[in-house]
Amino acid sequence: MDRWGVARQTVQNAIDQLRTEGLVGSRPGRGWYVAERPAIRRLARNRLSKAERDAGRGAFLSDAAQGGWRPDVSVEVRRQPADDRIAGILDLAGDVAEVVVRAREMRADGRVVQLATSYFPAGIAAGTAIEQPDTGDGGVYERLEELGFRLTHFEEAVNARPARPEEASGLGIPAGYPVLAVTRVAWAGDRAVEVNDMVLAGDRYELVYTLPAD
Amino acid sequence: MDRWGVARQTVQNAIDQLRTEGLVGSRPGRGWYVAERPAIRRLARNRLSKAERDAGRGAFLSDAAQGGWRPDVSVEVRRQPADDRIAGILDLAGDVAEVVVRAREMRADGRVVQLATSYFPAGIAAGTAIEQPDTGDGGVYERLEELGFRLTHFEEAVNARPARPEEASGLGIPAGYPVLAVTRVAWAGDRAVEVNDMVLAGDRYELVYTLPAD
DNA sequence: CAGTGGTCTAGACCACAAA
DNA sequence: TTGTGGTCTAGACCACTGT
């Protein structure tokens, strides 16, 4: 205010802009400070290979072991009617198309860093280990293979969008701050067996994909 | 103001929040309106395969042909000393490590939708077609192959972050609005031959990766 | 010209933190 | 207690739009 000869609200608005750009943060009563660039976690996407899955632990847990932070996952499993989008991807017909839903919240040292919601056709997953909170070694993909669905490939669609208010409070970022939204579809031949919607705190993550040149 | 019994500034702040979340837009003198969800362009990433490259046109132009919009690319080529990050990735030694830079701005029907800046070691690209604005059929990757660099794979690192002010005005989005930042590294064996930094308007794009299951 | 969005000021109140 | 950040109000001016 002194330096530029402007009103308090004007400074406040300026700082609010910097906040939405992720450049400053503040704590009431303390002050405002230049934001620290959070450590970026690189998530290699070749972790979906069968060899890696056979190693046992899920991707999140091996990341934790490597990164030296304390992982913590809470799971909620339920059944519900599939909405249009999910029904479309999983190619479910009929008006009572039901899906098994696994909603997970992943925390690193107590902070929520990732939300993931998986959908499976109830015809495949109902009554199996997939409906258990703990799905055991290799996770749901191994369980799908045991059920006779030989996974052939995954498709991941990535986009960046502003965090919705619920997501923002969950992930501990300002509302509207960028998140990575990833939709993964697991395929067994030409049959889609899982849709996984993931939301990751934007610049705290980096997804790394390796693509063959030929 | 009438409905909630609040001051004008309060409404303004509320609307500003919605704007940063991409939900509303406004034009001075006209009013504010619910933002239309822009059509999402799906960018399949298998387009980097040799077979696709042999087809001739660059990825951006074939997207345009498929999507029915008018493509428009402006290119600026220059040489400059490599900064630490680029030198690190390209494994350039010495204090005079120079790179050839291709800075491109891609427009769809006149609107900037993507910014891309490529870096090549000057030792490889200087004096070649890579320094020409138009690199010819198959683009820079074909030129690299002709120079004896057999491309083996690409690595793409994706993250989401707030748009920097220059990027925001370039891409026609509010400052701080999410962008997808993709860094692609092209490898010929164990040698990195190109670094390409791309910035895409966040929720206008969806990057699709296909991953093998084994 | 009136109505709109955008921005600024000055003053006020609250919650929180540190001395 | 004092200083901080966060938020709100009331009033003002400007630029732009459409009648």
- Does A197 lie in the same domain as A114? yes
Q: Within the 47-106 window of chain A, which residues sit less than 8 Å (CB to CB) from chain B?
A: 48-51
pLDDT tens digit sequence for A144-199: 999 999 999 999 999 999 888 778 877 878 778 899 999 999 999 999 999 999 99
Residue A213 is assigned to a structural domain of this protein: no
Neighbours of A89 (CB within 10 A): 16
Task: Quote the pLDDT of residue B53.
Answer: 66
In chain C, which nucleotides are within 7 Å of a protein Cβ? 3-12, 15-18
Domain that holds residue A116: 40-208
**Distance separating alpha carbons of residues A86 and A69, to the nearest angstrom:** 33
Measured between CA atoms, how close is B1 to chain A, in angstroms? 20
> How high is the mean pLDDT of chain B?
87
**Distance separating alpha carbons of residues A22 and A34, to the nearest angstrom:** 9
- Does A204 lie in the same domain as A147? yes
> How high is the mean pLDDT of chain A?
87
- Does A3 lie in the same domain as A97? no
- Does A25 lie in the same domain as A98? no
**Distance separating alpha carbons of residues B79 and B128, to the nearest angstrom:** 13
Q: Tell me if A112 sits within 8 A of A105, measured CB to CB.
A: yes
Residues of B in contact with A212 (CB under 8 A): 49, 152-153
Which has the minimum average pLDDT: A5-9, A56-60, A118-122, B35-39?
A: A56-60
Residue nearest to nucleotide C4 (CA to C1'): B29
Residue B83 is assigned to a structural domain of this protein: yes
Residue B47 is assigned to a structural domain of this protein: yes
Whether the CB of B10 is less than 7 Å away from nucleic strand C comes out as no
DSSP string covering chain B, please?
A: -TTTT--HHHHHHHHHHHHHTTSEEEETTTEEEEPPPPPPEEEEGGGGSHHHHHT-S-HHHHHHHHHT--EEEEEEEEEEE--HHHHHHHT--STT-EEEEEEEEEEETTEEEEEEEEEEEHHHHTTSGGGSS---TTHHHHHHHHTT----EEEEEEEEEEPPHHHHHHHTS-TT-EEEEEEEEEEETTEEEEEEEEEEEGGGEEEEEEEE--
Render the burial of B89-121: b for 16+ CB within 10 Å, e for the rest. Answer: bbebeeeebbbbbbebbbbbeeebbbbbbbbbb
- Does B193 lie in the same domain as B150? yes
Amino acid at B160: A
- Does A201 lie in the same domain as A161? yes
Which residue out of B18, B161, B199 would a mutagenesis test of the A interface target, given it has the greatest number of A Cβ atoms within 10 Å? B161
The mean pLDDT of A59-86, rounded to a whole number, is 86
Q: Of B174, B203, B43, B173, which Cα lies nearest the Cα of A164?
A: B203
Distance A120 CA to D9 C1' (A): 53
- Does A47 lie in the same domain as A8? no
A210 touches chain B (CB under 8 A): yes
**Structure-derived torsion over alpha carbons of residues B5, B7, B8, B13, reported in degrees to the nearest 10:** -100
A32 touches chain B (CB under 8 A): no
pLDDT tens digit sequence for B46-100: 666 676 666 555 667 777 777 778 888 899 999 999 999 999 999 998 777 899 9
Which of A26-30, A146-150, A170-174, B138-142 has maximum average pLDDT? A146-150
Render the burial of B150-186: b for 16+ CB within 10 Å, e for the rest. Answer: ebeebbbbbbbbbbeeebbebbebbbbbbbbbbbbbb
- Does A154 lie in the same domain as A109? yes
Residues of B in contact with A9 (CB under 8 A): 9
- Does B68 lie in the same domain as B18? no
**Distance separating alpha carbons of residues B198 and B125, to the nearest angstrom:** 20
Q: Would the pLDDT of B208 be above 70?
A: yes
Task: Quote the pLDDT of residue A21.
Answer: 85
Task: Quote the pLDDT of residue A214.
Answer: 74
Whether the CB of B3 is less than 7 Å away from nucleic strand D comes out as no
Distance B21 CA to C11 C1' (A): 31
Q: Of A184, A162, A200, which Cα lies nearest the Cα of B37?
A: A162
**Measured between CB atoms, which of B155, B160, B177 is closest to A203?**
B160
Residue A163: strand, helix, or coil: coil
**Torsion sign over Cα A169, A175, A177, A182:** positive
Residue nearest to nucleotide D7 (CA to C1'): B10
Q: For chain A, how many structural domains are there in total?
A: 2
Question: Which chain A residues 105-124 have CB under 7 A to strand C?
Answer: none
Q: Would the pLDDT of A56 be above 70?
A: no
Whether the CB of B32 is less than 7 Å away from nucleic strand C comes out as yes
- Does A65 lie in the same domain as A30? no
Amino acid at A175: A
A87 or B47, higher pLDDT: A87
Residue B214 is assigned to a structural domain of this protein: no
Q: Would the pLDDT of B20 be above 80?
A: yes
Q: Which nucleotide is nearest to B27 (CA to C1')?
A: C5
Residue B213 is assigned to a structural domain of this protein: no
CATH number for A125:
3.40.1410.10
Question: Which chain B residues 5-64 have CB under 7 A to strand D?
Answer: 5-10, 13, 27-30
Measured between CA atoms, how close is A198 to chain B, in angstroms? 14
Residue B74 is assigned to a structural domain of this protein: yes
Nearest residue on chain A to B157, alpha-carbon basis: A208
Neighbours of B55 (CB within 10 A): 12
Contact B176 A20 (CB under 8 A): yes
A48 or B21, higher pLDDT: B21
- Does B166 lie in the same domain as B140? yes
Contact A157 B214 (CB under 8 A): no
Q: Of A17, A12, A7, A213, which Cα lies nearest the Cα of B187?
A: A213
Contact B156 A20 (CB under 8 A): no
Residue A83 is assigned to a structural domain of this protein: yes
Residue nearest to nucleotide D14 (CA to C1'): B28
State which H helix or E strand residue A14 sits in: helix A8-20
Residue B197 is assigned to a structural domain of this protein: yes
A151 or A62, higher pLDDT: A151
State which H helix or E strand residue A147 sits in: none
**Measured between CB atoms, which of A17, A153, A179 is closest to B211?**
A153
- Does A117 lie in the same domain as A197? yes
Given pLDDT bands bounded at 50, 70 and 90, which one contains residue A58? low
Given pLDDT bands bounded at 50, 70 and 90, which one contains residue B139? confident
pLDDT tens digit sequence for B153-178: 999 999 999 888 778 877 878 778 89
Distance B114 CA to D17 C1' (A): 32
